[in-house]
Structure formats: structure tokens, C-alpha cells
Amino acid sequence: MPGSKIMVIGAGAMGQGLSEAIATAGHDVTLADKTTKQAERGLRGIDEAMDREIGRWGLTQADKKAIRSRIHPTADLWLAEDAEIVLEAIPEDLEKKRDLFEKLDRICPENTLLITNTGTLSISEIAQATERPQKIIGMHFLNPVTRIPLVEIVKGLRTDEATFRKAVEFAVMLDKKWITVNEYPGYVTTRIIVPLINEAMHVLMEGVATADDIDEAMKLGFGFNVGPLALADQMGLDVVMSWMMNLLKELSEHRYNPCPILRKLVRAGHLGVKTGKGFFEYDKDGNRINTTATVTVRKEIR
């Protein structure tokens, strides 16, 4: 496993985090996206993330230089032919993922470890797009990948034991703690955090407490690092809503039905940290600007 050739497909936030984590562990990684421009934009994103970490004393300039030298952006999906590990990290869209895995099935030799990084989609359904569903496995890393020590290793219905063992080895290589999950919508992390976030939004909507007080209560009361509403802002409100819709569709449970406040913010394009506004307001570096929440019950609801 050490020395393996590794490819990450998708240079968005997740693909960037994965590439940085792999390179930080000392391995070369090819970062692929549809165009060279997109792949290089991903590399710039990694640069910025490392600069922030240097500002937090977690990395040195020398570390950054070494890590960066191991990440190779490309638009050539065919480089997957030489890779021993391929990680898919494109947006959460079943059809796009199935389409990609169908291509990878044609490109990659039979021993390649093919990993999909999804938080809610069905591994089995993605795997069915290939001729080798037993070789496909899910690894759900959480954002920001370099800071969160957990990965959920998700077995599809047909994933075989050898593939699972390779995934475990890969998790260990990246110095992540792993848990085993049998495929089921939302796995463990998404399944549990989504209704919590939804409930926080309902508490806000019903005028029980302000957004600040809700977050403060969960932080101080239960030792959360981040309150549920600020967490939703960080994850992206559109992403949170898409998880809810997926879980609602799969499990038909009312608790996953997106709170009207969430639907409203997403429609208005207030998607959280990335657009500068969600439940709270943020500057372009993602730091909170106002101490008070932007969404108050009186203004938005009543």
C-alpha cells in the first residue's frame, strides 16, 4: 500500500481536502477534473487552505512546499489506468457518479481500489454501473478532510472482503480512525446530524430561542465544537438540504423533511459560509462578521 499511485477525481472542496491529506501523508497524488483549469483551481484552493493552516501554526512553509510538490493536477481521466487507488469526489449526483464509475470500469485494471466518497448515496447503486461491483467501496470522509480524523468505510451489498481490507489499509495510511458501516441511507454521521440540524432550525422557526442562543446551548451544553446552525452554514445549506431530500426520499420519515427556513434560505441563494450569508454572516475568509444572527424569527417568519 505505501508507494501506491493514487488518483483523486473532482477538484472541489472534498477532492482538494483528500489530495492534501494524501500528500501530507507523504504520497504522490494525481488530482483530476474535467478541465486543466478546474484541476489547477483545485490546487490553488489547496494552497490557500495550507496558508490558513500555516497561519494557525499547524504547518510550516517547508511542509507546504513538500506537500504541494506531490499533487499533480490533470484533465486526463485516462491516468487512472496507472493508479492503484482511485477516489471519486465529484458532486453528490447519482447519475454523474454512475457515469464516472462506468468509465473507470473501462479504464482501470481489475485490481484498482475504486472508492466513492459519498455521504448519502447508495454504494450498491453506484457499483451496479460497473462490471465489478464487488470491488467498489464507499469511504465517507468529512470536510475539512485534513482536520477531521474520521472516515466511514461503507460496504455496498456486494463489496468483497479483500476490497474492504484495502480500504482499511488506505484509511490507516492517511492516519484516520475508521468505522465500518453497512450501506444504509445516511450511514452514521449524516443520518444523525441531519435531523439534529433540522430540529435546531425548527426551534429557531418556532421562536423558542435565537440562532446564537441555540448554537451556544449545544456548544456549552453538550460540548459541540460548533453549534448546529453554524455547522449547517459551514457545510453549505444547499448540501444540507440535498442530504435531507435524499434521506426523506429513502426513508420517508418526516424528521428529514427540510425545515421551511432552510428551503427559504436556499431559494434566496443564501447558502452559508460560501456565499457569505446563511444563518449568520461571513467575510470572504469565512470568518463570522456580525455577532448576531442574520435570520431572526420576527423578520423572516412572522
Partner 1 sequence: MKILVLNCGSSSVKYQFVDTETEKALAKGMVARIGMAGSVVTHKPHDRPEIKVSAEILDHIQAVEYVITMLMSANHGVIANKSEIDAVGHRVVHGGTEFSDSVLITVELMSALRSLIELAPLHNPHNIRGINACNVSLPNIPQVAVFDTAFHHEMPPHAYIYGIPYVLYKRYSIRRYGFHGTSHRFVSDRAAVMLGRPLTELKLITAHLGNGASVAAVDRGRSIDTSMGFTPLEGLLMGTRSGDLDPAVILHIMAREELSLHEGNTLLNKHSGLVGISGVSSDMREIVEAAVDGNQPNAKLALDAYCYRLKKYIGAYAAALGGLDALVFTAGVGENSPVVRGMSCSNLEILGIAVDDEKNRLAVGKEMDISVDGARCRTLVVPTNEELVIARDTERIVNATKG
Q: Could you list the residues that contact partner 1 (CB under 8 A)?
A: 2-3, 26-28, 53, 56-60, 70, 147
Q: How many residues does the chain have?
A: 302
Please name the residue that has the C-alpha cell 505505501: 2
Q: Judging by beta carbons within 10 Å of its beta carbon (0-12, 13-18, 19+), is residue 87 exposed, middle or buried?
A: buried
CA distance 136 to 126: 8
**Nearer residue to partner 1 within complex by CB, 82 or 93:** 82
* Cβ-based neighbours of 49, under 8 Å, separated by 6 or more: 16, 17, 20, 144, 146
What is the CB neighbour count within 10 angstroms for residue 34? Answer: 13
Instruction: Give the DSSP per-residue string, 210-255.
Output: -HHHHHHHHHHHH--SS-HHHHHHHH-HHHHHHHHHHHHHHH--GG
C-alpha closest to that of 88 among 110, 71, 64, 112: 112
Give the closest residue to 231 by CA, choosing from 212, 246, 215: 215
